[in-house]
Amino acid sequence: MEPVQKVAIIGAGNMGSGIAQKTAQEEFDVEMVDREAQWVERGQSIISNFLIEAMERNIFKQEQIDAIQSRITGVVGVDKTNPETDLVIEAVFEDFDIKTNVFSTLDEVCSPHTILASNTSSLSVNALAQATGRPDRFVGLHFFYHPAKNRLVEVIPAKTTSKETLDRVVQYCKGLGKVVITCADRPGFVVNRFFVPWLNEACCLLNEGAGTTAQIDAVAKKAFRIGLGPFGLMNLTGPPIALHSTDYLAEQLATPRYIGAENLRQLVAEQRMWEIDEEESYSEEQYTMISERLLGVVFGVAAQIVDEGVCSMEDVDRGAKVGLRWALGPFELMNKLGVQRSHTMAKSYADIATSGWEVPQFFTDQGNQAWTFSFVDTAIDAGIATLTINRPEAMNALNVDVVGQLSVALAAVESNNDVHTIVLDGAGKAFVAGADVKFFVDKIRSDEFQDIYDFTANGHHLLNAIETSSKTTIALTTGLALGGGLELAMACDYRIGTRKTQFRFPETSIGIYPGLGGTQRPARLCGKEVARWAVLAGNFMDAQTAFDVGLLSHLVEVSEVSGCISNLSQIGKPASKFNGKPNNEDSRIVQFAKSFYSDENMQTILNHQCPQGFDEQDSVVSRQLKSLKFTAPVGLRMAHDLINSSTQPLSDGLESELNGLETIFSTEDALEGLSALIEGRKPTYVGK
């Protein structure tokens, strides 16, 4: 599959310029197209202002901004779009005729291989696809504002969209670091389907005198654990958008309850915003009435989305958490409140909504049994089984459920005689960004160490099953792999990376040591000195560094990933996985690691002193000493001792890791480091 590299955005407004900016940030070649030069220039100005703001917040440096802007070419006239563009995303006004006119021109201009996409929040993707000359190479996209900041994108294939088209567009979206929801073409798609009725219901509650705008917002913020209530959100995005969206859903879904509330309609007609006073206090009766109405509509619509096959429960929740920044998704909220109680709320709303709105039978049949969620997807093609950890809203962090489900999925493909290769992948931006830190903090504070031990031991069983698998195992680490994620990858026979691969062991800086083989496998892969450099100081590794030191076995272009997997599946398991040396002995980082972290220097380093023969003023040495200074003393020393034990059989070394868990998790530094990470502050270690 040839990846997308050249992208054109039609429309240089707020949304189009945002998509262009994000695309350029991720190193794609971008054309930003509009009908007049003034609009193209305005789009470039919008991007420039956003990037300057990002630089002021230390997100980008000037050279990065220059590089981003150099990848964006302004183009006047849709007919001037580069014919060889891989993907053209139309982002013009939400009008069917305007959009189809754009696609008519693009059909004539673009080469046959070009994929056309519409950034739409409401229009029928199937209808748009039929209006183009290439319905098999057409897809709907729904970026969320602001596209450079919001991580969610809904990808909506038409019935005619080819698998290759969908795969290429999803790969492009993943290349943007987006959390991707692939969904069916139904009005409102996923997020707007439940979010827009929620907004309109708040207006209905206001009409009924259930509370003031401030009171309704306050109740909503508490019930949904969000920062802005419905009226505050409408003021932010614009009441006209809310009115247009809810009227559209009412018409398309034949649901009169969704027709824009009269107060919203009047507000828009008078071009006003909602007045929200500062008095937010409400009675207990108000809270119950308002919260249950708002929860009821969301719960019922969430169930309707799943019942209609638009997407999974997991993706509904993902849309709420990533796209709307809710703390919990609708189905998670139901589990928290009780599924039976949540069903009662939905039924109560159905009684109010009357025609066109029903609670799906599967919701009724669930009783009071909690919803269960799947976080591991399995796909098998030509003997290659891909296990995708699909928890991108949490950067695929390992928790009890993920480890358990991954173990079950692994066992299933291991027993499948048609499978000869197993690929581990992560959905979204990350491969796996470590373990769920909050789990550790909660267990330490509740004095439940056994749960930490059991979780880690189960992780060891999983990694051992991967390592001893009869199949060829490959970790597709084309994103972020931290801590436990990197340890998971090292259990595989091969680790494939691309230019976006990033590795790091952060454990010693958060009060612990890597406990899923992180003190054992690195030394066996690339030598003790390099393992010390990677683990003790928690040095960040970009793709080239990860390959040079030997933690990546293969570094390829994005376009070469599929071919690399195919080749490795034919080669089969390596004769010797643990070579004990770096891939590139000439690398400056490798040479530094081997000299700085030599056996004779370690006692000096553990005492936070500079080894003899090294200049503390040297920038490389200075950074290394600074990194070591911010590690937890007990974690640092235990990690060092465990790395030194890597000369013994691997099974013995892994057992030593497990045996040390109670010691390290009992320290004050472990709780401090893990808590500081969650709280976003620097830890203060006392060495005990």
DSSP 161-198: --HHHHHHHHHHHHHTTPEEEE----TTTTHHHHHHHH
Q: How many C-beta atoms surround the C-beta of residue 108 within 10 A?
A: 11
Percentage of the chain exceeding pLDDT 70? 100
Judged against a pLDDT cut of 90, whether residue 47 lies above it is answered with: yes
pLDDT at site 656: 95
Q: Across 415-513, where does the E strand assignment appear? A: 421-426, 430-433, 472-476, 480-482, 494-497, 502-504
Q: How many C-beta atoms surround the C-beta of residue 558 within 10 A?
A: 17
Residue intervals of the chain classified under CATH 3.40.50.720 are 6-182
Residue intervals of the chain classified under CATH 1.10.1040.50 are 191-365
Strand order in the sheet with 541-542: 430-433, 480-482, 502-504, 541-542
Q: Model confidence at 687, in pLDDT bands (50, 70, 90)?
A: confident
Query: With contact defined as beta carbons under 8 Å apart, do 267 and 199 qualify?
Result: no
Residue intervals of the chain classified under CATH 3.90.226.10 are 376-679
Q: What is the CATH number of domain 6-182?
A: 3.40.50.720
Query: With contact defined as beta carbons under 8 Å apart, do 359 and 303 qualify?
Result: yes
pLDDT at site 354: 82
Judged against a pLDDT cut of 80, whether residue 416 lies above it is answered with: yes
Closest CA to 32 of 80, 100, 103: 80
Phi/psi of residue 81, each to 5°?
-60, 140
Q: How many C-beta atoms surround the C-beta of residue 328 within 10 A?
A: 17
The residue type of 486 is: L
For residue 192, indicate whether it is catalytic: yes
Query: How far apart, in Å, are the Cα atoms of 317 and each of 182, 224, 373, 391, 688?
Result: 13, 12, 10, 11, 40
Say which residues have a Cβ less than 8 Å from residue 53's Cβ, sequence separation at least 6. Answer: none
Q: 522-532 in b/e burial notation, b at 16+ Cβ within 10 A? A: bbbbbbbbbbb
Q: Is 329 helix (H, G, I), strand (E, B) or coil?
A: coil
Across the chain, what does the average pLDDT equal? 95
Per annotation, catalytic residue among 17, 119, 121, 342: 121
* Residues facing 33 on adjacent strands: 10, 75
Please, is 61 exposed, middle or buried when counting C-beta atoms within 10 Å of its C-beta (0-12, 13-18, 19+)? exposed
Q: 612-645 in b/e burial notation, b at 16+ Cβ within 10 A? A: eebeeeeeebeebbebbeebbbbbbbbbbebbbe
pLDDT at site 356: 82
* Residues facing 116 on adjacent strands: 88, 138
pLDDT tens-digit map of 62-116: 999 999 999 999 999 999 999 999 999 999 988 899 999 999 999 999 999 999 9
Fold of 191-365: N-(1-d-carboxylethyl)-l-norvaline Dehydrogenase; domain 2 (1.10.1040)
* Residues facing 430 on adjacent strands: 480
pLDDT at site 313: 97
Average pLDDT over residues 403-407: 97
Altogether, the residues listed in the chain come to a count of 688
Please, is 107 exposed, middle or buried when counting C-beta atoms within 10 Å of its C-beta (0-12, 13-18, 19+)? middle
Judged against a pLDDT cut of 90, whether residue 342 lies above it is answered with: yes
Average pLDDT over residues 228-243: 94
Per annotation, catalytic residue among 31, 154, 393, 657: 154
CA 154, CA 322: separation in Å to the nearest integer? 11
pLDDT at site 224: 97
pLDDT at site 630: 92
> Do β-strands 179-182 and 152-157 pair in parallel, antiparallel, or remain unpaired?
parallel
Sign of CA dihedral 159, 165, 169, 175: positive
Judged against a pLDDT cut of 90, whether residue 168 lies above it is answered with: yes
CA 215, CA 219: separation in Å to the nearest integer? 6
For residue 154, indicate whether it is catalytic: yes
Cis amide leading into 640 (omega within 30): no
Judged against a pLDDT cut of 80, whether residue 443 lies above it is answered with: yes
Query: How far apart, in Å, are the Cα atoms of 687 and each of 102, 327, 663?
Result: 65, 35, 13
Q: Model confidence at 319, in pLDDT bands (50, 70, 90)?
A: very high
Q: Is 26 helix (H, G, I), strand (E, B) or coil?
A: coil
Both tokens of 477, joined, read 């680490």
Closest CA to 233 of 223, 248, 220, 246: 220
Judged against a pLDDT cut of 90, whether residue 428 lies above it is answered with: no
Strand order in the sheet with 554-555: 376-381, 384-389, 421-426, 472-476, 494-497, 554-555
pLDDT tens-digit map of 530-581: 999 999 999 999 999 999 999 999 999 988 999 999 999 999 999 989 999 9
pLDDT tens-digit map of 591-618: 999 999 999 999 999 998 999 999 999 9
Query: How far apart, in Å, are the Cα atoms of 105 and each of 10, 81, 108, 138, 254?
Result: 11, 10, 5, 14, 34
pLDDT at site 688: 84
Q: Model confidence at 647, in pLDDT bands (50, 70, 90)?
A: confident
Fold of 376-679: 2-enoyl-CoA Hydratase; Chain A, domain 1 (3.90.226)
CA 343, CA 366: separation in Å to the nearest integer? 9
Both tokens of 406, joined, read 């991954």
The residue type of 249 is: L
Judged against a pLDDT cut of 80, whether residue 243 lies above it is answered with: yes
Both tokens of 44, joined, read 């470039």
Query: With contact defined as beta carbons under 8 Å apart, do 273 and 240 qualify?
Result: no
Site of tokens 């597709």: 476
Q: Model confidence at 1, in pLDDT bands (50, 70, 90)?
A: confident
Per annotation, catalytic residue among 94, 142, 312, 529: 142
Per annotation, catalytic residue among 119, 126, 192, 587: 192
For residue 142, indicate whether it is catalytic: yes
Please, is 603 exposed, middle or buried when counting C-beta atoms within 10 Å of its C-beta (0-12, 13-18, 19+)? exposed
pLDDT tens-digit map of 653-681: 999 999 999 999 999 999 999 999 999 99
pLDDT tens-digit map of 454-482: 999 999 999 999 999 999 999 999 889 99
pLDDT at site 94: 87
pLDDT at site 608: 87
Strand order in the sheet with 138-143: 72-76, 29-34, 6-10, 87-90, 115-119, 138-143, 152-157, 179-182
Judged against a pLDDT cut of 80, whether residue 235 lies above it is answered with: yes
pLDDT tens-digit map of 320-330: 999 999 999 99
pLDDT at site 534: 97
CA 527, CA 417: separation in Å to the nearest integer? 36
